Amino acid sequence: MRKIGKAFYTVGFFLVFVLLGSPFSWAQSNVSVEASLSQTTVYTGERVSLSISISGNFNNVSRPELPQFENFRLLSDNPSTSRSYRYVNGQSTVSYTYSYYLIAQKQGEYQIPSVSVSIDGETYTTDTIPVNVIDQSESATSDDSSGRPDIFLKLEVSDKQPVTGQQVITDVILYFRDGLEVNSYQPVPGWKAEGFWKEELENSGRPRAESTVLNGIRYRKARLLQFSLFPTKSGELEISPYKIVVAVRSARSGNDPFSSFFSGFGSNQREVELSSDPITVDVQSLSPTDDATYIGAVGNFDISRSISTSNALVGESIEIETRVRGSGNIPLISKPNYNLPEGLEIYEPQENTRLNRRNSTISGSKSFTDVIIARSPGNYTIPAKKVSYYNASRNQYITTTLEALTFSIDENPEAIAGSESSGQFPVSPITGLASWVVLSPEPANLLGLWWFWTGLIIPLIIGGGAYWRKSYADKMETDTAFARSVKASDKAQQRLEDAVDVSEQGDIKQAYNLLQKAITGFISDRLNMPEAGLSNQDYIDALKEQNIEENLVKNVHMLLEKCATISYAPDTTHAYLKSHVGLAESTLEKLQKVL
């Protein structure tokens, strides 16, 4: 019983100590003491402000113990003091700021020594601050001082001789003389950095102007934007000029170094477009690596590999994730190739990239997920793999060994029952009779097929003949002269036969009349002359115009004369007519050839 009570008190004391002591120790560890100078480049005789900022959760703080300032004169031991109090998420924070004024006395580069502060009994010291004191009279006579404009833009790179893939931090800095106030700025879109992969970095807060001296002239400078550039090839690469449009106005007093970068609008405000000078960067190529382990990464990385499970069934997917974390050219990193054992199906890897653009650097992670499926049971081992990346700060390749991954695959009982494709081959050999085909060694040539040409030519011939026949029939129907000319011979022949028939019946006159019609009809049909109303002489004249042979014309003339005068010859016989019909037939045959 006593033992139990003693133990209870012991535990209670421990809990009280932990609960009360831990906030106390946390508060102690969250106190920060920082020293800052209003400007780190000052003229001789110029006043500069030294601020000691103390913040955190504490109870008692002493006034800073100032050291001896060599080459600086302290204006007063009594600082101006400001105090603030914040309460956020249950945590209170107190801030004290002590400000002293120093006057630079001698030209040179010095260090503002550490300042000690006692807080709740503990002593804190600040870091030393480098400061450059220049002689105003000497720097003002510098040749270069007169060439600089009152406001200009400048690109500043962290390294002008990087290696391929190295992260180069590029600041877009605005310089402007005291007396000018910048109200706003707007980047001109379209800036390109050819030969680089670029990422804009995130900067918290608004740009803050700092005082600086360039060739004896006091300027204020502010970093407007910040980029990470990763050269993708070696050689001299030029970063093209960056352009912004700034709204600027003349200020009434530009001496206050702590004034905000952005000031209010004034009546004398104007907009100017500023362009930085281009910068040439000499990109060094990476030293050749001995093996194929390099994955294209330049920076500082931690590379690891893991497997989703060490035991799976046949047909189940297993994921192998390769993760690269750190800062550098993360999106340009390629997946390491693994030698997978036989019997594994591999699918296209999935890539996932996460970038962090804060803290003036590109950091984050890139993961590659290989999906593999085993098709048969057993134990599998993916052998260890060496991968390397280039560390630019150490100027060497860093090699990491990814440990071997082992996993076992068991038979899938559901797959065996449900799918024949999972295990057993689904087809058996054909062992019976087969139907055989003898392959032709030469490929078929369509143009060498006889039936192709036959099937093409025959319809063309038939079509051609039919077309001729159709045209003939159409002409016979539409062209009267043509039709008379074609039918002239048959018509004449028919009349001659009729003449013979009539003659046999004893009507000689009618027979000769038909003979005359046969001859004149033939001539008029062939020469497209009127069918009636013409004299024999008209026919003879028409023949002569056609340059017909003279004897033939004479025969025609004689026959026509006979036909006209036969009425006056009472003893004309049938035989006589037949002789004239014969002559007419031969004459018309000859005429047919020449007309």
Partner 1 sequence: MFTNRFSKIFLFLFLFGGFTTLSFAQQNPQALFDDANEMIQKDNYQQALSLYQKLEDRNTVSGALYLNMGISYQRIDSLGVAKYYFLKASQFEETEQQAKKALEFVESRFSRQSAVLPKLPWDIATDWLQEHVGAQNLLLIGIITLNIGIFIFIAYWFLQVYPNALRIVGLSFVVAALFIITSSFYTQYISDRYSKAVMVTEKVPVLEEPSEEASIVSRAYEGYTFTVDHRRSQSEQEWTYVRMSNGLYGWIPNSEILIL
Q: Which residues bind partner 1 (CB under 8 A)?
A: 340, 342-347, 375, 421, 425-441, 443-444, 446, 449, 451-452, 455-456, 458-460, 462-463, 466-467, 469-470
Cβ distance to partner 1 smaller for residue 108 or 343: 343
Tell the smallest beta-carbon distance from residue 153 to partner 1 (Å). Answer: 42
Tell the smallest beta-carbon distance from residue 334 to partner 1 (Å). Answer: 15
Cβ distance to partner 1 smaller for residue 19 or 446: 446
Cβ distance to partner 1 smaller for residue 146 or 471: 471
Cβ distance to partner 1 smaller for residue 147 or 426: 426
**Strand 80-88 with 405-410, pairing:** unpaired
Tell the smallest beta-carbon distance from residue 408 to partner 1 (Å). Answer: 19
Tell the smallest beta-carbon distance from residue 430 to partner 1 (Å). Answer: 4
Cβ distance to partner 1 smaller for residue 5 or 432: 432
**Distance between CA atoms of residues 237 and 163, nearest Å:** 12
Cβ distance to partner 1 smaller for residue 417 or 456: 456
**Distance between CA atoms of residues 228 and 360, nearest Å:** 8
Tell the smallest beta-carbon distance from residue 487 to partner 1 (Å). Answer: 21
Tell the smallest beta-carbon distance from residue 164 to partner 1 (Å). Answer: 20
**Cα torsion at 86, 87, 91, 92 (round to 10°)?**
50
Tell the smallest beta-carbon distance from residue 230 to partner 1 (Å). Answer: 24
Secondary structure (3-state) at 206: coil
Q: What angle do CA 492, 498, 500 make, to 5 degrees?
A: 110
Cβ distance to partner 1 smaller for residue 1 or 456: 456
Backbone angles phi, psi at 489, to 5 degrees: -65, -50
- Tell which residue, 236, 173, 232, has the closest CA to residue 199: 232
Cβ distance to partner 1 smaller for residue 420 or 479: 420
CB-based contact 578:503 (threshold 8 Å): yes
Cβ distance to partner 1 smaller for residue 88 or 437: 437
Cβ distance to partner 1 smaller for residue 404 or 473: 473
Tell the smallest beta-carbon distance from residue 431 to partner 1 (Å). Answer: 4
**Distance between CA atoms of residues 534 and 511, nearest Å:** 20
Q: Determine the distance from the C-alpha atom of residue 440 to the mean position of all C-alpha atoms in its chain, rounded to a whole number.
A: 49
Tell the smallest beta-carbon distance from residue 385 to partner 1 (Å). Answer: 18
Tell the smallest beta-carbon distance from residue 532 to partner 1 (Å). Answer: 34
Tell the smallest beta-carbon distance from residue 469 to partner 1 (Å). Answer: 8
Tell the smallest beta-carbon distance from residue 415 to partner 1 (Å). Answer: 11
Amino acid sitting at position 359: N
Cβ distance to partner 1 smaller for residue 80 or 350: 350
**Distance between CA atoms of residues 461 and 478, nearest Å:** 26
**Token couple for 98:** 């002590």
Cβ distance to partner 1 smaller for residue 433 or 575: 433
CA distances to 295, 300, 338, 478 from 388, in Å: 6, 11, 14, 97
Cβ distance to partner 1 smaller for residue 380 or 539: 380
**Token couple for 474:** 């159409």
Cβ distance to partner 1 smaller for residue 436 or 568: 436
Cβ distance to partner 1 smaller for residue 6 or 469: 469
**Distance between CA atoms of residues 42 and 537, nearest Å:** 140
- Tell which residue, 365, 191, 216, 355, has the closest CA to residue 278: 191
Question: What is the per-residue DSSP string for 134-179?
Answer: E-HHHHHT-GGGGGS-SEEEEEEES-SSPBTT--EEEEEEEEEETT
Tell the smallest beta-carbon distance from residue 451 to partner 1 (Å). Answer: 7
Tell the smallest beta-carbon distance from residue 557 to partner 1 (Å). Answer: 45
**Distance between CA atoms of residues 563 and 216, nearest Å:** 143
Cα dihedral sign for 133, 138, 143, 148? positive
**Distance between CA atoms of residues 212 and 222, nearest Å:** 10
**Distance between CA atoms of residues 447 and 428, nearest Å:** 42
Spatial CB neighbours of 343, under 8 Å, sequence gap ≥ 6: 374, 375, 376, 378, 380
- Give the H/E segment covering residue 512: helix 508-526
End-to-end Cα, the chain, rounded Å = 158
**Distance between CA atoms of residues 415 and 424, nearest Å:** 11
Tell the smallest beta-carbon distance from residue 568 to partner 1 (Å). Answer: 54
Secondary structure (3-state) at 439: coil
**Distance between CA atoms of residues 276 and 256, nearest Å:** 27
